[in-house]
Amino acid sequence: MRVAVLGATGAVGREVIKVLAERDFPLDELVLLASARSVGTRLPFKGTEVEVRLSDKNAFSGCDIVLGAVEADISRELAPHIVAAGAVFIDNSSAFRLEPEVPLVVPEVNAEDARRHKGIIANPNCSTIIAAVAVNPIHQLSPLTRMVASTYQAVSGAGAGGIVELEAQMKALYEDAPVEKSIFPYQIAHNLIPQIGGFDEGGHTSEEMKLQNECRKILHAPSLPTACTCVRVPVMRSHSLSIYIETERPVSVEAAQAAIAAAPGCLLVDDPAAKRYPMPLDTSDQDLVFVGRIRADLSSGVGGLALWCCGDQIRKGAATNAVQIAESLLR
């Protein structure tokens, strides 16, 4: 079993390497690939170090699985060479997510879709993964007929530079120094930015459309009415979502809690009397999606529910989900 990590030196790529080791993925050789400027870098893996090689079209010979952690344009460029080499490409970028022939997979939700791949499997957007894991147990009780979601997305969702920028701005504010920005369009410290991605003609951001369209594909609900608002918040790690859902048949709060408590990938954290609910700090650096604040949606006339969930967008929202897809292929 020869497994390659494409984009190995980036934040997600490094996390993929870490997750492969933690989960003891059954590989015989790990191949680390990155751009020319990173060639020769050595990264730790299971008590040893692996040297990074160049990620060109000839890099995939003999590979069985390639875990992609690069931008969409690079994925599109290299995907044909990966497939031609006989490997399965599990791609974390947005390049192929909505392609009809490419499965878009969250293993706790639709692992069976991965079996119909034709060489490429897409890893969903980070917020999509967290949302799908949280709502799927209720969707299994009674299919969703409407979803309204608001995301509160950590700065690390914009890469390592997002963390550096927030830390620098907080330090500047504390020292009464000028606040500089480069990653985000506005100061993120002490602020919220209701834009992630570019706007379309209707005023929706690309991140909002990803959440809508990808959830529809993963849940096998292609016409699910969905409204999304995605917001960048001054949190270091882990995304949070407020979600309102309606279902074909009413689902009680108690039934929803029981389904989520029993669902793979979920942890029910829902005890308002004890002030127990999901929070980003608690969900960082682990792989479960915490779900709580489950309650009746008082605005809904058809028995809707409201919930709050949090998950680590670097792990479950990216690296771990990709490794889980690879594990499901082996099974």
Q: Name the residues annotated as catalytic.
A: 126, 239
What's at 178, amino acid-wise?
P
Question: From edge to edge, which strands make up the β-sheet containing 29-34?
Answer: 42-45, 48-54, 29-34, 2-6, 65-68, 88-91, 120-122
What is the rounded CA–CA span in Å between residue 85 and residue 20? Answer: 22
Would you report the helix, strand and coil content of the chain in percent, each value rounded to 5?
Answer: 35, 25, 40
Query: Taking the mean position of all CA atoms in its chain, how far away is CA 12?
Result: 10
In terms of Cβ atoms closer than 10 Å to its own Cβ (0-12, 13-18, 19+), residue 195 is: middle
Q: Which residues pair with 310 in a beta bridge?
A: 240, 290
Contacts 24+ apart (CB under 8 A), 99-106: 104/214, 104/217, 104/218, 105/218, 105/321, 105/325, 105/328, 106/132, 106/133, 106/136, 106/218, 106/321
What is the rounded CA–CA span in Å between residue 269 and residue 296? Answer: 17
What is the rounded CA–CA span in Å between residue 155 and residue 77? Answer: 28
Instruction: For the beta carbon of residue 281, count every other beta carbon within 10 angstroms.
Output: 10
